Structure 1
């Protein structure tokens, strides 16, 4: 017998504790979304210019290639904006409300507005538990459970902070729940910050990625990564 489903909390509840299938499963496999290269190949997009923004908007979920958009892919970078209007922003299309449904299908969520606020906090740049709590107007202990549920649902990812030992930060794992807009991270002091933490930075090479390219005034000691490099 093969059981599959997209609601992580429902599927995860089939096996633990006193669940009827406890100890009877021969394999438990979590199917992850495609990375940017595999997603581009799956969508049939060979040009990195439209492939990168498409992945930024809908990620690598296979269902967002055919069923949710009727097989519609942008014909090129010039068609990307119109593709977003035809699919993601089309009120008659299934992708339009998909971000809301991703939360609605999780059975552990009792207060959807709180979970939406937590996701909005992270998407707005509040990546620590304290920052998230301050954004939503709750105490840190009051958002511990929502954070765990969103992690279990693979809507949030908790990762270690490379610059601060024993600390971690959250990021939104599902692109559809992120407000689409430009963002920048000024990292001119990254090497100095690492040095102050006791790291040997003599061979450290800072890396900067840009979808728009770089000017001739870009620093010579920084590794510059373009969209073409990402899909090479």
Structure 2
């Protein structure tokens, strides 16, 4: 019973910290605030994680491992497509679709985690920068290499920059869908994930194909 209760507290601390980091950033949130919001004591945080950096690392590991696994699974399927235009489109979908999945399913997607990633990336905190790199760089390189194979002669700087633009569009579509609805006067639903995925994939597909020589 104690292990079950301890596990519940540990997960509650992880979920609460993720919510607070997504709202306020990493640096502005204290261990005491996390413990209070999770209805726990600071000693529980120290016992389970040791430090705020270790807590952040746990958040990333618990959410990115399943998302990266799903991305790589879909990437493997996409790379078997012969036509390079269709293969590129499938590769882009393999990258984008898992990020739109609900984080409540434990697959690492969802708006809250994406918002946290965006905020932490902008903060420039060294702990966060290192953790983000460990969580995503290997998978990102696999996608950049696969995209490059679909675009003969593409310069590496173009592939890297346009991969960043893809990530940026993914971030913004997830964390601020209301802007799409507002600017379209309600004619476009920013919360329509299927449509958002389609638009991101098609825009990125055209962008990467333009690099071919």
TM-score normalised over the length of structure 2: 0.27
Greater relative contact order (Cα < 8 A, sep 6+) = 2
TM-score normalised over the length of structure 1: 0.26
Greater helix fraction, Structure 1 or Structure 2 = 2
Larger Rg: 1
